[in-house]
Amino acid sequence: MINSKRLLGHLAELSEIGKNDATDGITRFSYTDVEQEAVDLVTEYMRRAGLAVTVDEVGNVIGSTPGIGPAIVVGSHIDTVPEGGKFDGALGVLSAIEIAQTLNEQQVEQTKILKVVAFKDEEGSRFGFGMIGSRAMAGTLKESHLNVLDNDGISIAQAMQKSGFNPKTIDDAKREVMDVYVEMHIEQGKVLEKANLPVGIVSGIAGPLWLEITLDGISEHAGATPMNIRKDALAGASECMIEIETLMQSESTAVATVGKLNVYPNGTNVIPGKVVFTIDIRDIDEEHRNGLEKQIISIIQQVSQKRDLQWNIRELQRVKPVKADPALQQLLSEKIKEAGIEPLKLISGAGHDAMQFGDRCPITMLFVRSKDGISHNPLEYSSEEDIALATEVFYKFIYDLVRK
């Protein structure tokens, strides 16, 4: 049996790192001192679990059981969105460490190596480009990806260098020998709560496509410029947003979000001459998502032409949706049934490191019920009972995988 008290203790301790006491929100961006504190703590937990710890070329923290050959890889991330909660990512890493520690304490004989990974920058919050660590491990991170800048104008490559990593060696982070990749994560939606179930099996993950839109108009005097001759970039962006929202109303699984907006020069008495905003478009069906992308781009073009604004669209990231492996889903279903729970399958609307391995090896995920479906928010919550139960189910699943 896993030690849920120890796991919950780790979760509480990790959630203090990067916490804003005024809001309870946690902010841990990649390649920062605060994130390094979290890395150090997780490294210590991995060592106590009996894992040999290495840090790869991009900063993924990898705890391994002894041996060589194909590995069962279990991971998630310890970075957060701005003012995030304490479960998104952290629960996956800490539950995997707890499982490794239990296997070690029970002296379970493994035929396969277990690797627990805390991936670098899943969220993409700092650079608008996520899953840096899992992309590197899957061998799909390219040097050209490292040129994107954070809000202070620092590129991923520069941030890596400052943290002691060499951007020229990212190809060496690719791990060839992965048997399967599995991940436990909070659901971040309401499906399990509505079904009154503590856990569920992820059958597929929607793919995020992130675009950055720049609209250029003219910054002029807010008092002296008549309404009919303005080129107001913010008013144009607002019209785009409302039209995009209207377009998406008839969608069943697809979603689109404007989550980030910068207004220039951002003065009360100045007409906004420039606006930069992001759009996050997702669906489980890639073709359908790409069709929506075309319609959204056409909205931006039409609104810009009508308002005489210049527009520019930059792709930040395009991640393919993935399907989970049927055999892994079946094994996980059996473990859930053995715990006396109905094995419900569900789609993940949120992105996960698991997506990066969909082309490389079989993947699946176990979801844990989220209270009110809230996530990317300090109110994010999963109960201690659900966490304990989920980790025990996941332990039994991984027990089988490392002994096969």
Under the rule (CB under 6 A), what is the footprint of ligand GLV?
123, 208, 350-351
- The answer to whether 280 contacts Mn ion (rule: CB under 5 A) is no
* Residue-wise DSSP of 288-329: HHHHHHHHHHHHHHHHHHHHT-EEEEEEEEE---EE--HHHH
* Nearest in space to 266 (alpha carbons), one of 257, 258, 274: 274
Nearer to Mn ion, 219 or 317 (CB): 317
Give the shortest CB-368-to-Mn ion separation in angstroms: 12
> 75, 89, 343, 349: which one contacts Mn ion (CB under 5 A)?
89
* Nearest in space to 338 (alpha carbons), one of 386, 295, 380, 394: 394
Find the distance separating the first CA and the last CA of the chain, reported in whole Å.
20
Give the shortest CB-351-to-ligand GLV separation in angstroms: 3
Nearer to ligand GLV, 347 or 350 (CB): 350
Across-strand partners of 213?
Answer: 277, 313
Give the shortest CB-180-to-ligand GLV separation in angstroms: 22
Which range binds Mn ion by CB under 5 A, 80-88, 160-168, 202-210, 333-341? 80-88
Nearer to Mn ion, 88 or 386 (CB): 88
Select the binding partner of residue 207 from Mn ion, ligand GLV, none (C-beta < 5 to 8 A, by kind).
none
Nearer to Mn ion, 89 or 272 (CB): 89
Contact between 188 and 88 under an 8 Å Cβ cutoff? The reply is yes
Nearer to ligand GLV, 364 or 375 (CB): 375
* Residue closest to ligand GLV, measured at CB: 351
Give the shortest CB-29-to-Mn ion separation in angstroms: 13
Output phi, psi for 384, to 5 deg: -60, -40
Select the binding partner of residue 208 from ligand GLV, Mn ion, none (C-beta < 5 to 8 A, by kind).
ligand GLV
Give the shortest CB-81-to-ligand GLV separation in angstroms: 7
**Three-class SS state of 114:** strand
* Residue-wise DSSP of 117-163: EEES-SS-TTTS---HHHHHHHT---GGGGG-B-TTS-BHHHHHHHT
Give the shortest CB-210-to-ligand GLV separation in angstroms: 8
Number of residues binding to Mn ion, judged by CB under 5 A: 2
- The answer to whether 88 contacts Mn ion (rule: CB under 5 A) is yes
Nearer to ligand GLV, 123 or 392 (CB): 123
Select the binding partner of residue 25 from ligand GLV, Mn ion, none (C-beta < 5 to 8 A, by kind).
none
Give the shortest CB-282-to-ligand GLV separation in angstroms: 8
Nearest 10 degrees: Cα torsion 305, 307, 312, 315: -90
Site string for Mn ion, 33-72 (x = CB under 5 A): ----------------------------------------
Nearer to ligand GLV, 75 or 272 (CB): 75
Across-strand partners of 113?
Answer: 71
Which tokens hold the place of 165?
A: 């990593």
Nearer to Mn ion, 99 or 205 (CB): 205
Could you tell me how far CA 376 lies from the centroid of its own chain? Answer: 10
Which tokens hold the place of 317?
A: 């990231």
- Please state whether beta strands 199-205 and 322-323 pair in parallel, antiparallel, or not at all (unpaired): antiparallel
C-alpha–C-alpha distance, residues 404 and 402, integer Å: 6
Give the shortest CB-165-to-Mn ion separation in angstroms: 22
Select the binding partner of residue 351 from Mn ion, ligand GLV, none (C-beta < 5 to 8 A, by kind).
ligand GLV
C-alpha–C-alpha distance, residues 392 and 332, integer Å: 12
Give the binding site for Mn ion (CB under 5 A). Answer: 88-89
